[in-house]
Chain A
Amino acid sequence: MKPTNFEFARATSLAEAATILRQAAGTARVVAGGQSLGPMLNLRLVQPSILVDITAIPELTHIEEDADGVVVGACVTISDIEDGRVRVEELPILASVAGGIAYRAVRNRGTIGGSICHADPAGDWLPTLCVLAAECIVTDGRRARRVSIDQFVTGAFEVMLEPGELLQAIHIPRPSRAARCGYYKVCRKAGEFALASGAVLLDCERDRFRAAIGATQGRPVVIADARVILGGVPRPGAAVGLDERAANELLGRAGLTTPARLHITALTRAAASAMAK
């Protein structure tokens, strides 16, 4: 199918993009790589009045590493990350997650910012970035503010951006050198969206033991202290035991009504993959 017609504008600055978005009062859609938006437009699931192309805004393709971590511009692509162009020694997880997203032809255009703002619960970045405690840098064209990723996503396909705001970049804090991070998604075909996904970060030095479950009916379920369900900190090489009852209870409290077996499997395998390295 073909999309309904829309206007088109290419913004060359954050301020310009914000102005167009504010004027459109919620009927505009931001486009970067368009790899999720394109199918939705073609299927007429979305019918915006105007598309605002943000790829010509220089700030959005910046990558900046500092002592705290790394700031990744919203228009950095999945293949940029897959190819190791976000080079942070403590975050090999980024490239490995990127390599499992869709297909190379999609990764060459799809962006990390677009994926986050699309907020598909079955996407790979949300659970990963939740365990890494990433922050979204949101701008209205004048001022920028930081919002934690689990606050940024408000539900399935919903984020907290107001008309006139856009995601500028993602700040990913640097874990310690000894930190272990794993991600696993259950899907039936390579590159697909997840049927269930899990992510785990075990960082003894920073005293951070986070887990997240993705592909739920809403935002990722974040477990602030993964030791509760893992029965402490797993030993490297040892089999990962997961307290299914505790995990089910957490998932139930988060509103997951379908049987959570796949999600628990994903989480167990994510923990196992973190400990295997």
Chain B
Amino acid sequence: MRAVGLTVNGIPVIETVEPRMHLADLLRERLALTGTHLRCEQGACGACTLLIDGEPARSCITYAVLCEGAQITTIEGLEDDPVMAALRQAFTAEHGLQCGFCTPGMLITARDIVSRLPAADERRIRLELSGNLCRCTGYVGIVRAIRRVLEERRAGALAASAAEPRRLGPVGSRHGGPSGGEVSVSTAAPTPAGPLLRAVMVARVKKAFARLLGKFRR
């Protein structure tokens, strides 16, 4: 077992994990951040795509121990991001999802296209999306949604977030982090950040439930 310190959606987290635990399992099973989806677990389908140090990466073939000191941003952490807000609207307007399984990964990749490639045409959008599979065959709507947001950006309606030049080497490999390292026993003391994230998630689920109940009662 090994303690890994990383920052998830702005909150520092220290978790004790087996080296074989991949990042998506850490997020989903320890932190209840189930917005990151898992399907192929071999880097092919793109459902688990999230941001590591601000850039898209696959969380199913990136082990948590490799991300010591990294900044992880999941779909939950992009609620207030202006590009993501525009994408959510556009995905709704253009029917960019059906079952929703691929959507978190699609949105992360879409955000990368809008931020990194403001001049992208339809061909380029499709090329950049080729690492994200949608089995409801919803590509037409997804591509239209991304085009819509790109047009908004080109028209100056959307603040462009210029990426900072990053260190050379794999994203997530800065190893600066909040104090991880070898742990001799598997029963490490619980850390405050994990429960905090879990509490936030539980509160959110409760709120959503209450809203749903309200609808039924009406």
Interface on A for B, CB 8 Å cutoff? 1-8, 10, 31-35, 38-39, 41-43, 51, 53, 55-56, 60-61, 63, 73, 75-77, 79-80, 85, 102-106, 108-111, 189-191
Identify the interface centre among B60, B61, B172: most chain A CB within 10 Å of its CB.
B61
A63 to B18, CA, bound (A): 34
Q: Could you pull out 18 A-B pairs where Cβ atoms are within 8 angstroms?
A: A34-B63, A35-B58, A38-B63, A41-B20, A42-B41, A42-B60, A43-B42, A53-B173, A55-B170, A61-B168, A63-B168, A75-B169, A80-B168, A103-B130, A105-B46, A106-B58, A106-B131, A111-B170
**Cα(A73)–Cα(B169), bound, Å:** 9
Tell me the smallest distance from the CB of A5 to a CB of chain B, in Å. Answer: 5
- Tell me the total A-B contact number using a CB cutoff of 8 A: 131
Q: A61-B168, A104-B56, A111-B170 are in contact. Are A31 and B66 (CB under 8 A)?
A: yes
Cβ-neighbour of A8 out of B58, B65, B112 (below 8 A) = B65
Chain B interface residues (CB < 8 Å from chain A): 2, 18-20, 22, 25, 41-44, 46, 49, 52, 55-58, 60-63, 65-66, 68, 108-109, 112, 116, 126-128, 130-132, 167-173, 175
Residues in chain B near residue A33, CB distance under 8 A:
170
Min CB distance, B40 to chain A, in Å? 9
* Residues on B with beta carbons closer than 8 Å to the beta carbon of A190: 126-127, 130
Known: A34-B61, A63-B168, A85-B168. A10 touches B46 (CB 8 A): no
Q: Which residues of A contact B49 (CB under 8 A)?
A: 105
Checking A7, A39, A102 against B19 with a beta-carbon cut-off of 8 angstroms, the contacting residue is: A7
Once the chains bind, are A105 and B66 in contact (CB under 8 Å)?
no
Using CB atoms, name the residue of chain A closest to B173: A55
In this complex, the member of A56, A63, A104 whose beta carbon has the largest number of chain B beta carbons within 10 angstroms is A104
Write out the residue numbers on chain B whose beta carbons fall within 8 Å of the beta carbon of A5: 18-20
Q: Which residue of A lies closest to B133 (CB)?
A: A189
A105 touches B19 (CB 8 A): no
Q: Give chain A residues whose Cβ lies under 8 Å from the Cβ of B131.
A: 102-106, 191
Minimum Cβ distance to chain A for residue B138 (Å): 17
Q: Are B2 and A75 in contact (CB under 8 A)?
A: no
Query: Chain A residues near B41 (CB, 8 Å)?
Result: 1-2, 42
Partner of A106, one of B43, B68, B108, B173: B43
A237 to B107: give the CA distance in the assembly, Å: 42
Chain A residues contacting B60 (CB-CB under 8 Å) are: 38, 42
Instruction: Provide the bound-state CA to CA distance between A4 and B42, in Å.
Output: 15
Kindly identify which residue among A38, A51, A75, A80 contacts B62, using a CB–CB cutoff of 8 Å: A38
In the complex, what residues of A have CB within 8 A of residue B65's CB?
A: 8, 53
Please give me the residue from chain B that is nearest to A41 by CB atom: B20
Give the chain B neighbours of A53 by CB distance below 8 A. Answer: 65-66, 173
CB neighbours of B19 from chain A (8 A): 5-8, 51
Q: Nearest chain B CB to A35's CB is how many angstroms away?
A: 6
B58, B63, B116, B168: the one contacting A77 at CB < 8 Å is B168
Is the beta-carbon distance between B43 and A61 smaller than 8 angstroms?
A: no
Q: Is the CB of A109 within 8 A of B20?
A: no
CA of A41 to CA of B66, assembled, Å:
14
Q: Which residue of B lies closest to A33 (CB)?
A: B170
Which residues of chain B come closer than 8 Å to A7, judged between CB atoms?
Answer: 19
In the complex, residue of chain A having the shortest beta-carbon distance to the beta carbon of B172: A109
- Give Cα A5–Cα B42 distance, bound, in whole angstroms: 17
Tell me the complex Cα distance, A34–B144, Å. Answer: 33
Tell me, in angstroms, the Cα distance from A63 to B169 when the chains sit together.
11
Chain B contacts of A80 at CB under 8 A? Answer: 168-169
The answer to whether A75 and B170 touch across the interface, beta carbons within 8 angstroms, is: yes
Assembled-state Cα–Cα distance A5/B41 (Å): 16
Measured CB to CB, the nearest residue on chain B to A81 is B168
- B69 vs chain A, min Cβ distance (A): 10
Which of the residues B2, B132, B169 comes within 8 Å of A61, measured between beta carbons? B169
In the assembled complex, which residues on chain B have CB atoms less than 8 Å from the CB atom of A103? 46, 128, 130-132
Cα-based distance from A33 to B65 in the complex (angstroms): 12
CB contacts (< 8 Å) of B130 on chain A: these are 103, 189-191
